[in-house]
Amino acid sequence: MGKGFFISKALGVVAIILGAGALATIIALSVVYSQEKAKNNNQVSPTDGGTTSKPPATTSSPSNEPWDKYRLPKSLMPSQYNVSLWPRLRPNSETGLYIFTGESSVEFKCAEETDLILIHANKLNFTKLENQMARLTSVNSGVKAPSIKSSLLQNVTQYLVLQLDGKLMKDHIYHLYTEFTGELADDLGGFYRSEYMEDGEKKVVATTQMQPTDARKAFPCFDEPAMKAIFHITLIHDHGTVALSNGEQKESSNFTKDGQNVQKTAFEPTVKMSTYLLAFIVSEFGYINDTIDGVSIRIFARKPAIAGGQGLYALNKTGPILKFFENYYSYKYPLPKSDQIALPDFNAGAMENWGLITYRETALLYDEVYSSNSNKQRIATIIAHELAHMWFGNLVTLRWWNDLWLNEGFASYVEYLGANKAEPNWNVKDLIVLSDVHRVFAVDALVSSHPLSSKEEDIQKPAQISELFDAISYSKGASVLRMLSDFLTEEVFTIGLKTYLTDFAFGNAGYTDLWDHLQMAVDANGTELNDTVHNIMNTWVLQMGFPVVTINTKTGNVSQKHFLLDPESKVTVESPFKYEWIIPIKSMNIGGIQNPIVWLKDKSATFDEMKTSGADWVLANLDVVGYYRVNYDQDNWDRLLNALKTNHLSIPVINRAQLVDDAFNLARAKIIPTVLALKITKYLNKERDYMPWESALTNMDFFYLMFDRSEVYGPMQNYLRKQVIPLFEYYENMTDNWNKVPDGHMDQYNQVNAISLACRTGLEECQHLTKLWFNQWITTNKNQIHPNLRSTVYCNAIATGGFEEWEFAWSKFVNATIAIEADKLRSALACTKQPWLLNRYLEYTLDPNMIRKQDATSTIVYIANNVVGHSLAWDFVRARWEFIFKGYGGGSFSFSNLINGVTKRFSTEFELQQLKQFKTDNSEVGFGSGTLALDQSIERTISNIKWITENKQNVMDWFKTEAKPNEALLF
C-alpha cells in the first residue's frame, strides 16, 4: 500500500472517538440495506456508458485458443514503437465525450513462425485500413508480409487478434500499423483525464497511469514487463498547453490536422523499457527547475501551486535523493532528465514512470502554511520511493508480475534511506518498524495470508496482478529486505546490488538473480553466514507468516513457532519449510551490552548468550531488524517490565515500541495473558518518545474497536486519560502553552498523539482547547491552527460540534485550493456524530462533483472509523458494491483498504454472517484487489469474537483497578 491509501494514524485515532450514546440513533437511522440495494440497482455504472468502441464479435465460450490465454505467446518480440497521440481536452460537441485519437506503428521480430498476431488492446476503437484493424508490412526487402485475413478484439483477454493468410518468418522484422480512438475518461487508468478549476474556469489535463496493465488502453502494445522496447512518442496538443513524456522534448512545431491548427511535440526516443512505465501528459501546468550534475530536474503542477512555491520542497530534495541513490547503487542515473508532476486526480500515491513520475498533489506539493510535518515526511519518502524505482524496477525489471513484491518491497525499504538523506535529523529510518514491520505483522499473522512469492502461472489476469499490490508485497517485502541488508551488512548488500543492476541493466530478472548476486558479494567479502542467501531467504519468501521466537533465559533455550493471531485457526496451505525459518537473532543485556548475532535454524537450540541470572535481562531482536516477534519466560518479562518502570531509557526506543506491540499481539494469540500486555502500558506515564506511544495507541485502537460500544469503554477511558495527562502536560510546557512547535520531528508527532488521546479520553482541557481554536477560525475567518495539529483539532471540533461546524468545514473543503488542506478537512468531516450528516457524506463520496474519485474509498473508510459511522458505511458499501467495484477499481489497493476499513470493528456472530453473505451475494461481481482482504476480514472477525468473549471481563476489571477512582468521573 502501498501507503498511498493508508489513513494517517492520528486521523484514525480521533475518528473513532465518540459517542456510545449515539448508538440508539444509529440503529434508528441506519440505512435499510434493502432500500439502498433497490436504489443501487437503478444506478448506471460509470463503465456502462464509458466505451467508445463496440468491438466486433468476440469468442465468448471458453476455448483454448491462444487469444484466450492471458499471457502473450513468445513468437513476436517488439523492438520499437512509433506512437502519436492526440488527446482532446474539450468534449466532443455531439457525444459529449472526451476522446483521444492515435496512430501507432510497432516494429517486432518474429521469434517463432506463426500466422497469428496477438497484441494487447483494451477499449480502443480501431479504424479500418483495407478492411482490417491493422496494416502489416515487412521491413526486410524481398520478403512480403502475409495479409491480414481477419481481425477481431478479444475483450476478455484484451487482445487485438490478427489472423494472417500466411506465416511470419523466423528472424524477420515486421511493422504493424494501427489507427484508433479511445475515450479520455475520468477513470484514472490508461490515458485518462483529470480536471480542476482555475480562476473560475474548468481545466482538463490528459495524463496516464499504465501500471500494471493499462498501457494497452492507450495504444496497442505487447503489454508485459519483459517485452521491453524503445518508444518514439509524439503528442499533438493545443497551443498554450505543455506536452510531456518519458523522453526529453526533441522538437515542437505547428501542425495542421483535420483542419485544426495545433502543436506537434516529438520526444527523444526512450531507452529500452517496459510499457507499464510510459507516461504521456498534456496540461497547462507550470514548472520550476534545476540542474544537478547535468540531469534536468523539473517539478510540474497547477500554475497557482507552482506560483505559491509548493513545488520547492520537492525540487530541493530531489537532487540530494537522486545523488544518494546513484551512490547507493553505484550506478549513474540513466536518463538526462527527471520530471515530477502533481496531478489533481490520481489513483495511487505516485507512479515511477521513467523520467516522468506522476503524483497525487498531496504526495508532492508542500506548503509552508498548510502542510504538517507528516505531510512533509510523506513527500520526502514518496519521492525517495519512486526515485529508487528508477534503477530497481525501471532499469532492471522483474520478468513477470509474480515477483512484484521484490520491486515494491525494495523501494519501500530504501525509501527510508533516501528520505533519511534528505532529512538527516528526523530519524526516519526507525519508522519502518511502525509503518511496515508492525503493520504487516497484523495481516501476516492470519492463515489467509500468502507468501511473498507467487507462482508465475497463478498470476495471469489483470485483477490477479492488481491484487499483488498489497501490504505483504510492500511492507513484508521491505521488512525482509531490511533484515537481509542488516545481516549481510549494507556494504555487502550494495556490492551485490551493483553487480545485479549492471548485469541486468535494460533487461529483466527474477528475485533469485538478486540472491545470486548477493551471494557473490558474500563470497567475495568472506562474510560468515549460517547458510546461503538462497536458503535463508527462501524460508522468508516462499512461506507465509513469520515466527514467534521464545527465549527461556533460565536455560538459554530458544525455539520458534509460526505466529498465528488465532491459535485455533487451521493452516491449510503446506509449506516447503514446515513453517520454520532461518532466523538471525540480535540481542542485548542489561547495561546495553550487545551479543554477537546467533542463528536459529531448527525448531529449537540452546545459546549461552540467551542465558541470564539475577537482575540481568535479555532483549532480543534489537531495533526490530528481524521479521519476527519475541516471547520470554515470565522472569525475563518481569525483569523487562521492571526496567521499563525504573529506567525505561535503558531499553532502546525502537525496542520499547516492540515490547508493547509484541506483548499485545502475543496476548491476542493467547501466548501470554492480556493483563501482562496491559501492564506494560503502565510505564507510559513516564514515556515521552513517539515510537512507544504510537505503538501503544495502535494497540489501544484495537481495544477501542472492540469495546467502544460496551461497558469496558468507561474504565478504559479513565485509565488512558490518566496515562496521557503527563504527556499532555509535557507538551503544554514544551510548547509554551501550545504556542510553539516542538523542535524534533518525532516530538512533533508525539505532540499530536498527546492531544488526540487526551481529547479522545475526554480530558476537558484538551476538548476546550480544540473547540476554542476551531471557533476562533469560524468567528474570525482566520485559521491559526498549526498544520501539525489541524487534523486532530478539526476532527475533535466537528465531533463535538453540530451542523454549523460541519457546514463550515465543508465550505472550506469545497473552496480549498491546496489539496493537503482539503484532505485534512475531508477526513475531519467524517468525525461528526450526527448520523444524518454521515449518511449524506457517504452519498457525496460516490458523486465525483463532490468528492474526487481518487478519494472516494478512503473517505468511506474515514466514516467507518467513526463509531457512529461504522454501520452506516458498511450498509452503504454492501448496498453499492457493484457500483463501487465497477467505477472505483482502477487497479490499486484501495479495495483492500475499503474492505478492511469497513469491517475492522466486526466482532459479533451477526456481523460475521453479514460478511459471509456479502461474499456470497457478490461472488459474480467479484472483489478485485479486495479478494484477499475479504477472507482476511472474515478470519479477523472470527478471532475478534473469540477474543472479546475471553477477555472482556478481565480487561474491564484491570482498567477499573488501574484507573484511580477519583478520576473516574468523566464517563
Question: Which residues contribute to the site for ligand BES (CB under 6 A)?
Answer: 1-4, 211-212, 348-352, 381-382, 385-386, 389, 408, 411-412, 415, 469, 474, 891-892
385 is in an annotated binding site: yes
C-alpha cell at 323: 545523488
Residue 268 is among the residues annotated as catalytic for this protein: no
Instruction: Give the CB-side neighbour count of residue 199, counting CA atoms within 13 A.
Output: 3
Catalytic residue among 183, 361, 386, 415: 386
Quote the CA–CA distance of 153 and 125 in Å, as a whole number: 9
Nearer to Zn ion (CB atom), residue 221 or residue 387: 387
Q: How far apart are CA 80 and CA 270, in angstroms?
A: 10
In the bound state, the residue with its beta carbon closest to ligand BES is 4
CA distance to 171, 839, 898, per residue, from 835 (Å): 68, 6, 20
| Phi–psi pair at 45, nearest 5 degrees | -70, 140
CA–CA gap between residue 492 and residue 486 (Å, rounded):
10
Q: How far is the CB of 293 from ligand BES (least distance, A)?
A: 24
317 binds, among ligand BES, Zn ion, none (CB under 5 to 8 A by kind): none
Q: Is 768 assigned a ligand-binding role in the annotation? A: no
Q: Are 203 and 238 in contact (CB under 8 A)?
A: no
**595 interface partner picked from ligand BES, Zn ion, none, CB below 5 to 8 A per type:** none
Q: What is the DSSP string of 63-129?
A: ---GGGSSSPPSSEEEEEEEEEEEE-SS--TTT---EEEEEEEEEEEESS-EEEEEEE--SEEEPPB
Contact in structure between 573 and 556 (CB atoms under 8 Å): no
State the nearest-atom distance from the C-beta of 4 to ligand BES, in Å: 2
CA gap 503, 480 in Å, rounded: 23
- Residue with the three cell numbers 490528459: 206
DSSP 273: B
Helices (H) and strands (E) in the chain, counts: 33, 29
- Tell me how far the alpha carbon of residue 417 is from its chain's centroid: 18
Question: What is the rounded CA–CA span in Å between residue 52 and residue 48?
Answer: 11
To the question of whether residue 408 is assigned a binding role by annotation, the answer is: yes
Helices 404-422 and 312-329 meet at what angle, rounded to 10?
120
Whole-angstrom distance, CA of residue 628 vs CA of residue 441: 8
Order of strands across the sheet that contains 350-351: 286-292, 295-301, 337-343, 356-360, 350-351
β-bridge partners, 150: 163
Q: Give the footprint of Zn ion on this chain (CB under 5 A).
A: 408, 411
Asked if omega into 212 is within 30° of 0 (cis), the reply is yes
d(CA 364, CA 448): 35
Is the Cα torsion angle 720, 726, 729, 735 positive or negative in sign?
negative
| Residues annotated in a binding site for Zn(2+) | 385, 389, 408
| Residues annotated in a binding site | 385, 389, 408
Residues classed as catalytic: 386
